[in-house]
Chains A and B, each alone.
Chain A
């Protein structure tokens, strides 16, 4: 006599399933860790490349066109194609996904850094010069801090998109939670697909809030400012969103 099949949510293949969470906790945890690593390293790499590029573009005005042009062209390439184009260089590795995502974040970071640096009021720079600040001290103490809000807007968008895009890395086996979605698709495992998708969105939201908190800590003078300033900023926010363009897929 054979035992009847267990009547739990895993056997029924429900979308929402508590048993899935408890039995596959380790798999989920590993996927989340991989997802976080891929996202954080790629955005950090993008930032490390973007800051010198933006500073160069500002120092030598003629480089602005080429820098913005090349990063924008890179941003146009679909993610599946980007990861595949890097395949001969990096093979099936995590590096491939990291480099691909870093290239995407470059566009957003360079654009916003430049906008932030260009937005530094001339009076602030003149005041610094009047106080005897050299070019380096002026950059570090005046211009970069004042560029933080615009740069952070780019960083937040870049990070949130990187979290979503990492899932496509499943095509080469390094997609973090995307791996679970890919495997779940092939085996019609609904609970796994839904759980992994929801975790992706949660990670994106948490990163966004953390960066928002960091921005507030880095710009204490903005909190001291009054409502009047905030009102003008609200209008800027909408404009910036449009210049940044669409999301990556």
Chain B
């Protein structure tokens, strides 16, 4: 690689991410020396929610994001359930998990096939041993895998058609359960739909039964898969990753958090809640979360904002702020979230070992996502079998005049929280912290960069590159959702 003189670069519009993203890079000696991440869109959902009937959050909040709208519904429903003190019947919980899992599984699939892999089909990689295969499978909007995945994704969404009426902006999730009971016929029809999706993963993505993915426990297992595993897009990815050294690209702080995904009847989650930082597990304490506005284009720059007392007052004249995104911190520190965080917190041996070796990287983020896809589809089949069509689906209780609660869930890209305050029967405060708000946070009160800003430092830039490929790989490895970020 040739040496680059010092220069600055503004990268945008950044595509194959959800929403609007601009990245300012400082480049020195052929590497990124500093990065500033800007979300250049402000809509103001927190303000739209204020003053409304609390149940309207079920209509408004999902419209924050069309890619994880069920997750937004779920966070809203959980916050409402918290203020109402309602318990959800088991069927309601299973149906909710199924809808969430459908969205998340589709999201992982879309990310891999439509957003992440097409970068390796770009002319810049011509001549690599894997290029022709990558191009045939993943050329943007044309590759055979892109087409197949789009069709498989649409079919998987039949789960949401049946259980949720439509997607996105499903209105079925309620604080007390779901508005649609599934009968015995629905259950078997859904088993067929999920079974067909599993078949697609096995035939096309993994080239092997899901069980074999679920058995992967150590980096050596992955190594063997790369060298002699079944032909499939997973193996192609492993080959590309090895050749381009993606395990050494895009390391952030090594601090991860998860709100816990897919509630279970015993109060736990299929994927545990907690944090994993510097190699150690700890509990997640929502009271330790604050947002900083120091470099956001928001009023209230001088102090941290606990979400129950948060504020969203855009300051269009501000010169110092460089993003509409706020900077969330846990006990004052930036954290990364996403499939990699969920699997680390849950203690998955393969992901723990990969992160122990090379940290969170482009490589380990993508492996965690694909592994989670396999685990989640397995769980969906279990939930479907557990449905008892004759049991209750939805509980109803009154809305109190005054109360506050937080709804914590996981979207595909990580920890999502809605902090809701109800006063005199109306929404008095509604603060949202989305996964990409964590990951793509600007600098905080102490000037500490957010996780992506940190992960970009050191990324190689080739001479003449106007939109460095390494930067694109790193950014997309987080599967960012900018509309959620700034909401």
Whether both chains belong to one complex is answered with no
